[in-house]
């Protein structure tokens, strides 16, 4: 009964402060017992039992991070991201302090890795909860002190994530400065270009967002998301341009942008043929091009618009919000939403998904 034990220890200490040192020893021993029971429950897939034990351990003794790290993991498995974030932040507070004396080299490595895990997980969970300021501050605090311990690729990924949190928090100047530094690196991958594109889009810099997504798609021509985000960035850029004074130069630039939208949208459809949303971007682009073109070209654009609209109306079903998570070396979990548009109700359906790397394998 960890709660009652904690209550009695505290009551004894209130009555006689001289017990402080002895109670500290008792608490740490009880912490170890509770933590080990939690680990055993976790090994038996008893999540509720593990949670109770880890909570008890954490209640009894605050000087060690392991129970807080375990609580963070358990809370995540239960979908409690807020509780998980607070548990990881609590662990990070301990891990940022002085490590225990007489630590072996292996223990020192584990301590540093636990600190990284706590910082990365806490910042990610805070961001998922919409608390981007705290997410950015948590990750920046870690990087300011310990970035030298990370390998170059992990440090690059962390810097990119930090810039994204700043952009989401409305700290546009800080975010754009970080993205500038990231994009000037020689080891940047399609992932960093993609994240930079999201950051620029969130700060309404649609031209830089489009450049970043285009670079991401060039490095990974099988990234459906890079092409789709390129379409959205270009379309937002076109809408901005349409608000400006009409000139021949402005119209020429709009034609170029809408042409690029159609090209990128074609890549999306090749990878994601049931994406109805991208067809709507194509329809808007053809209509705008028809308005900007001369009479003969306008007729061609109008005809293509009508053909595409028929395809749009006749599409049997729509698949949206597709997400994938790799699980080990031989499995993946796919989630999404399928909407019946024109197919027979109750008709059995079979969907085929292909998972490829940036080389198309």
What is the reported pLDDT for 296? 80
Average pLDDT, the chain: 92
What is the reported pLDDT for 53? 93
pLDDT at 86 over 90: yes
What is the C-alpha to C-alpha distance for residues 192 and 198, in angstroms, rounded to an integer? 10
Q: 167-201: b or e for each residue (b if 16 or more CB lie within 10 Å)?
A: bbbebbebbbebbeebbeeeebbbbbbbbbbbbbb
**Dihedral of the alpha carbons of 127, 128, 131, 134, in degrees to the nearest 10:** -30
The average pLDDT across 185-197 equals: 91
Contacts by residues 109-113 (CB-CB < 8 Å, ≥ 24 positions apart): 112/146, 112/149
Specify the pTM.
0.75
Contacts of 44 (CB under 8 A, 6+ apart): none
What is the reported pLDDT for 18? 94
User: Phi/psi of residue 94, each to 5°?
Assistant: -70, -45
What is the reported pLDDT for 209? 95
What's the maximum distance between 2 C-alpha atoms anywhere in the chain?
A: 96
């Amino acid at each position: 009964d960890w709660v009652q034990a904690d209550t009695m220890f505290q009551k004894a200490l209130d009555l006689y402060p001289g017990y402080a040192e002895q109670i500290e020893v008792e608490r740490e021993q009880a912490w170890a017992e509770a933590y080990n029971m939690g680990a055993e429950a976790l090994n038996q897939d008893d999540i509720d039992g593990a949670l109770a034990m880890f909570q008890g351990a954490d209640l009894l003794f605050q000087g060690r991070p392991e129970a807080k790290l375990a609580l963070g993991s358990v809370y995540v498995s239960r979908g409690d991201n807020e509780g998980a974030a607070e548990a990881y932040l609590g662990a990070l507070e301990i891990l940022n302090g002085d490590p225990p004396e007489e630590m072996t080299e292996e223990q020192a490595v584990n301590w540093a890795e636990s600190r990284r895990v706590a910082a990365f997980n806490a910042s990610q969970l805070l961001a998922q909860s919409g608390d981007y300021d705290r997410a950015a501050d948590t990750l920046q605090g870690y990087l300011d002190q310990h970035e030298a311990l990370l390998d170059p690729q992990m440090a690059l990924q962390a810097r990119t994530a930090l810039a994204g949190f700043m952009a989401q928090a409305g700290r546009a100047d800080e975010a754009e400065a970080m993205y500038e530094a990231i994009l000037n690196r020689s080891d940047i991958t399609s992932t960093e270009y993609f994240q930079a594109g999201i950051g620029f889009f969130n700060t309404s810099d649609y031209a830089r967002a489009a450049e970043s997504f285009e670079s991401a798609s060039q490095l990974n021509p099988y990234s459906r998301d890079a092409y789709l985000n390129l379409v959205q960035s270009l379309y937002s850029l076109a809408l901005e341009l349409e608000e400006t004074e009409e000139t021949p130069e402005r119209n020429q630039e709009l034609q170029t942008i809408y042409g690029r939208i159609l090209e990128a949208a074609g890549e999306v459809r090749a990878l994601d043929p049931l994406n109805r949303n991208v067809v709507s971007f194509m329809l808007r682009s053809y209509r705008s091009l028809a308005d900007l073109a001369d009479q003969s070209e306008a007729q061609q654009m109008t005809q293509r618009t009508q053909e595409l609209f028929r395809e749009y109306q006749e599409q049997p079903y729509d698949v949206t919000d597709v997400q994938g998570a790799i699980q080990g070396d031989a499995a993946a979990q796919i989630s999404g939403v399928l909407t019946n548009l024109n197919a027979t109700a109750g008709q059995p359906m079979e969907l085929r998904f292909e998972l490829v790397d940036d080389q198309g394998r």
